[in-house]
A and B are shown apart, each in its own frame.
Chain A
Amino acid sequence: NFILTQPHSVSGSPGKTITISCTRSSGSIASHFVQWYQQRPGSSPTMVIYEDSQRPSGVPDRFSGSIDGASNSASLIISGLKTEDEADYYCQSYDRTIAVFGGGTTVTVL
C-alpha cells in the first residue's frame, strides 16, 4: 500500500494563486490517476479535478491539476483565490484493489 502526503494547511489572499501538493510514498505518481476533492464545512466532498488534470463540468477554470514525476507528486492549483474557496481539499489515487486519500489540506483565504 502507499500513502499520499499533503501539507496540513495553505493560505493566500483573495486574487492570489495557491498550490497544494500531494506526494505519493511508493510507486509512481503517474501509474494511476490522481483526483482532488473539495469539502466545505458541514458539507459532503465534491470532485474538483479528476484524472490528474481534468475538470468536472461546473468547476471553475481557476482550479487546475498537474503531476510531476521527478517529485512523485501531484498538485492542485487555485488561481484568483476567492473566499468561497475556503475548504478542506483531499487528493486521492488508487491501486488495483484499494483507494487512498491524502490527509487533507485546509485552505484559508486571508
Chain B
Amino acid sequence: QVQLVESGGGVVQAGGSLRLSCAASGFTFSRHGMHWVRQAPGKGLEWVAFIRYDGGNEYYADSVKGRFTISRDTSKNALYLQMNSLRPEDTAVYYCSKDGPVRAAGPYNFDLWGQGTLVTVSS
C-alpha cells in the first residue's frame, strides 16, 4: 500500500525542540525527493522543506531556515524534520509529502500526502 505516515507531533513550549518522523511504504523511497508542508489552524498550505532523492540537497522556506533541518534514512524508508527554537507561529499540522518525478534535482510537486501530525507551540 502506497502511503506516508507521520508521527512525533505534540505540545512544546516556545524555544523548545521537536522531531517529526514520516514512514514511507509502497514506492521506491530512494528515487524520490520528499517534502514537509504545514498548515496552521484555519489557514492555507505552506511549503516548509525539501530534500533531494539522494539527500544531496536540502531547501527551506525562509520562515524556518536556520531553525529546521530535513533529513532522510533510505535504509528505514524514513523522513525526518528536526525543529529547533520553536515559535508560536510554527503551530500547525505538518504533512510529509512525496515529490512526483523520479530523481528530480529540486522541488517539483506533491503527489502523495500523509495524514499529518499536529504541532502546538505554547507561548
| A residues whose Cβ falls under 8 Å from a Cβ of B | 1, 33, 35, 37, 39, 44-47, 50, 56, 88, 90, 92, 94, 96-104
Decide if A33 touches B107 in the complex (CB within 8 Å).
no
- Collect the chain B residues with CB atoms within 8 Å of residue A100's CB: 47
Dominant secondary structure at the A interface = strand
Nearest residue (CB) in A for B104 is A94
Query: A46–B98 Cα gap in the complex (Å)?
Result: 11
List residues of chain B with CB within 8 A of the CB of A96: 106
Which candidate, B13-21, B71-79, B108-116, is the interface stretch facing chain A? B108-116
**A-B CB proximity, top 5 nearest:** A99-B107, A104-B44, A99-B47, A44-B113, A101-B45
Complex contact B110–A35 (CB within 8 A)? yes
A97 contact set on B, CB distance < 8 A: 59, 106-107
Which residue from chain B places its CB closest to the CB of A39 in the assembled complex?
Answer: B45
The reply to whether A101 and B46 contact each other, CB–CB distance below 8 Å, is: yes
**Chain B 34-47 per-residue mask, 1 if CB under 8 angstroms from chain A, else 0:** 01010000001111
